[in-house]
């Protein structure tokens, strides 16, 4: 078996395609361009293919990671040209590489994620830099997280899961928060909780529908073995 990972972007209207539909979309694209995916064993076999982390509906992305296994080696041109041709508008392939043996899955290895949160400049005051600084100075940032099983809201402290927040401005006069968060099986934080608590802390008159989110990249440990082609 051969193990690979590809990095892809997701922009435009395709951002409204769900996680499960994205899995079906890539599965069909692999089949159409003749890539023979490896399958699991057992009563209900399924293709050995999976995303490193689910991407929330409505988010764009620049560097999502898809891991997959094939029965035979796959060339870079097969992925970058033929697979891309079988994917819908809005999805681009950024990079492609092979995974070295005896490594944990990409999903298990991801340690953090960087998000680009775009706020409309007209709704942000001149003290936004100070607001970011003071927000991060808090020893505790309280948010309410819905529990998966009970569906109840539980008060949690998210401060230690926020690694970094920086500001940048665009030519369109928008303000972007570059938010680096814990992400993965060991520690994980939704950027939605950061957005919610930041708006409340800064008393910013911005509605959630005015904010756009792009997951800029998923970050793996520096020693994770991928040979990019």
CATH code of the domain covering residue 14 = 3.30.70.580
Q: pLDDT at position 201, please?
A: 94
Find the mean pLDDT for residues 189-209. Answer: 93
Both 55 and 139 in one domain: the answer is: no
Mean pLDDT of the chain: 91
> Do residues 226 and 98 make contact, with C-beta atoms less than 8 angstroms apart?
yes
Both 123 and 103 in one domain: the answer is: no
Both 46 and 126 in one domain: the answer is: no
Both 156 and 144 in one domain: the answer is: yes
Q: Is 110 helix (H, G, I), strand (E, B) or coil?
A: coil
Tell me which of 109, 134, 163 is where a domain ends. 109
Both 119 and 197 in one domain: the answer is: yes
Per-residue confidence at 225, pLDDT binned at 50, 70, 90?
Answer: confident
Look at residue 223 and tell me if it is in a domain.
Answer: no
Both 129 and 85 in one domain: the answer is: no
Tell me which of 54, 79, 109 is where a domain ends. 109
Both 142 and 166 in one domain: the answer is: yes
> Do residues 171 and 219 make contact, with C-beta atoms less than 8 angstroms apart?
no
Both 8 and 104 in one domain: the answer is: yes
Q: What is the DSSP string of 112-159?
A: EEEEEEEE-GGGS-TTHHHHHHHHHH-S--EEEEE-TTT--EEEEE-G
Find the mean pLDDT for residues 10-26. Answer: 96
Is it the case that residue 194 has pLDDT exceeding 90?
yes
Q: What is the DSSP string of 47-77?
A: BSEEESS---TT-EEEEEEEEEEESS---HH
Both 13 and 104 in one domain: the answer is: yes
For 26-78, what is each residue's pLDDT tens digit? Answer: 999 999 999 999 998 878 888 899 999 999 999 999 999 999 999 999 999 99
Per-residue confidence at 102, pLDDT binned at 50, 70, 90?
Answer: low
Both 99 and 124 in one domain: the answer is: no
Look at residue 177 and tell me if it is in a domain.
Answer: yes
Per-residue confidence at 123, pLDDT binned at 50, 70, 90?
Answer: low
Angle ∠(64,65,66) on CA atoms, nearest 5: 125
Q: How many domains does the chain have?
A: 2
Look at residue 169 and tell me if it is in a domain.
Answer: yes
Look at residue 71 and tell me if it is in a domain.
Answer: yes
Both 66 and 124 in one domain: the answer is: no
Residue 209: give its domain's CATH number: 3.30.70
Both 130 and 79 in one domain: the answer is: no
Look at residue 225 and tell me if it is in a domain.
Answer: no
Could you tell me the residue range of the domain that residue 56 belongs to? 2-109
Look at residue 227 and tell me if it is in a domain.
Answer: no
Look at residue 69 and tell me if it is in a domain.
Answer: yes
Query: Which of 49, 37, 39, 38 lies closest to 8, judged by CA?
Result: 49
Tell me which of 63, 92, 109 is where a domain ends. 109
Residue that wins the pLDDT comparison between 119 and 158: 158
């Amino acid at each position: 078996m051969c193990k690979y990972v590809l990095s892809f972007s997701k922009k435009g209207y395709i951002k409204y395609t769900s996680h499960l539909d994205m899995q079906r979309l890539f599965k069909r694209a692999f089949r159409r361009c003749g890539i023979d995916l490896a399958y699991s064993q057992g009563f209900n076999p399924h293709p050995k293919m999976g995303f490193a982390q689910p991407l929330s509906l409505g988010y764009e992305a620049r560097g999502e990671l898809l891991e997959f296994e094939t029965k035979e080696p796959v060339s870079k041109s097969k992925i970058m040209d033929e697979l891309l041709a079988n994917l819908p508008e809005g999805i681009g392939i950024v990079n492609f590489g092979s995974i070295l043996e005896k490594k944990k899955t990409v999903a298990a290895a991801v340690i953090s994620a960087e998000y680009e949160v775009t706020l409309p400049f007209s709704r942000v005051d001149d003290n936004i830099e100070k607001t970011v600084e003071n927000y991060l100075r808090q020893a505790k940032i309280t948010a309410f997280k819905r529990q998966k099983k009970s569906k109840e809201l539980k008060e949690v402290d998210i401060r230690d899961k926020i690694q970094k927040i920086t500001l940048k401005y665009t030519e369109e006069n928008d303000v972007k928060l570059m938010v680096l968060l814990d992400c993965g099986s060991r520690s994980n934080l939704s950027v939605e909780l950061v957005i919610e608590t930041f708006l409340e802390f800064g008393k910013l008159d911005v509605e959630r529908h005015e904010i756009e989110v792009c997951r800029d990249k998923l970050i793996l440990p520096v020693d994770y073995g991928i040979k990019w082609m």
